[in-house]
Structure 1
Amino acid sequence: MNTKQEIIDSLEGQYKGDMAPPAIFTQTGTKGQMEASGYSWPDAFYEIDKLIGLALQPSKMIGFATARIPFDITAESSRLGCEFTPGNSETQPAVIGSKWRTGEILDPPEFMSPEEFITEGRTAMYIEAAGRLTKEHEDLFITSAMIDAAGLAFNLVGTEEFLMASLMDPEPCLKWIGAMAPLMNAYGKALSEVSDNVMVIASYAEEILSPDMIERFVDPFDRELFSCMKGSFTTAHSCGESDNILEMLASAGETALSVESWKDPQGVFDRVSDKVKLVGGVEPINLMMMGKPTEIVRSAKLFSDIGYPVIAPECGVPPQTPNANLEALARYREI
Structure 2
Amino acid sequence: MDEYTPKERLARALRGETVDRMPAISVTQTGTVEQMEACGAFWPEANEDAEKMAALAEAAHTVIGFEAVRVPFDITAEAEFFGCDIKAGTKEQQPSVVGHIVKSIEDVEKLKDYEINNGRVGVVCDAIKILAEKYGDELPIMASMLGPFSLAQHMNGDDWFMAIMTDEEFGFALMELTTEFNIAYAKKMVENGADTMVIIDPTASAMLIGDEFYQKFVVPAHKKIVDAMRELGVATVLHICGDTTPSLGLMESSGVDAISVDQNVDVATALSKVDRAVLVGNLDPVSALWKMTPEDIKKVSKGILESGVGLLGPGCGIVSKTPNANLQAMVEMAKSHKY
Q: What aligned pairs does 1:134-173 form with structure 2 within 5 A after superposition? A: 134-137=132-135, 138-158=137-157, 160-173=158-171
Report the alpha carbon displacement of residue 334 of structure 1 after superposing the two structures with TM.
4.9
Number of the residue aligned with 2:181:
183
Report the alpha carbon displacement of residue 262 of structure 1 after superposing the two structures with TM.
5.4
Contact persistence 2:71–2:144 (CA under 8 A): yes
2-side partners of 1:199 and 1:278: how far apart? 13
1-side partners of 2:190 and 2:311: how far apart? 20
Number of the residue aligned with 1:14:
17
Q: Aligned partner of 1:223: which letter? A: K
Report the alpha carbon displacement of residue 303 of structure 1 after superposing the two structures with TM.
3.0
2-side partners of 1:98 and 1:236: how far apart? 25
Report the alpha carbon displacement of residue 207 of structure 1 after superposing the two structures with TM.
4.6
Number of the residue aligned with 1:329:
330
- Are 1:216 and 2:219 an aligned pair? no
Number of the residue aligned with 1:289:
290
> Given the alignment, which residue of 250, 253, 266 partners 1:251?
253
Gap regions ≥5 residues in structure 2: none
Contact persistence 2:259–2:280 (CA under 8 A): yes
Q: Deviations over 1:205-246 (max 9, x none)?
A: 245322211111211111111111133111111111212211
Contact persistence 2:28–2:316 (CA under 8 A): yes
Contact persistence 1:282–1:300 (CA under 8 A): yes
2-side partners of 1:244 and 1:108: how far apart? 35
Distance 1:113 1:100, change over 3 A: closer
Distance 1:71 1:100, change over 3 A: same
Report the alpha carbon displacement of residue 132 of structure 1 after superposing the two structures with TM.
2.1
Q: Deviations over 1:126-149 (max 9, x none)?
A: 122112212211322121111122
Instruction: Find the residue that maps to 2:29 and give its secondary structure.
Output: coil
Distance 1:269 1:96, change over 3 A: same
Q: Aligned partner of 2:93: which letter? A: T
Name which of structure 1's ranges 260-269 and 220-229 shifts more when overlaid on structure 2.
Answer: 260-269
Contact persistence 2:65–2:328 (CA under 8 A): yes
**TM-score when scaled to structure 1?**
0.91
Q: Give the RMSD, CA atoms, in angstroms.
A: 2.1
Gap regions ≥5 residues in structure 1: none
Contact persistence 2:236–2:257 (CA under 8 A): yes
Identical counterparts, % of pairs: 29
1-side partners of 2:66 and 2:37: how far apart? 19
Q: Aligned partner of 1:260: which letter? A: D
Number of corresponding residues: 328
Q: Deviations over 1:144-202 (max 9, x none)?
A: 111122222111111x2122233333221221112222211111222234212110012
Distance 1:13 1:171, change over 3 A: same
Contact persistence 2:41–2:56 (CA under 8 A): yes
Instruction: Find the residue that maps to 1:288 and give its secondary structure.
Output: coil
Number of the residue aligned with 1:316:
317
Q: Aligned partner of 1:145: which letter? A: S
Name which of structure 1's ranges 254-263 and 232-241 shifts more when overlaid on structure 2.
Answer: 254-263
Distance 1:296 1:99, change over 3 A: same
Number of the residue aligned with 1:199:
198
2-side partners of 1:9 and 1:164: how far apart? 41
Number of the residue aligned with 1:120:
118
**TM-score when scaled to structure 2?**
0.90
1-side partners of 2:71 and 2:247: how far apart? 28
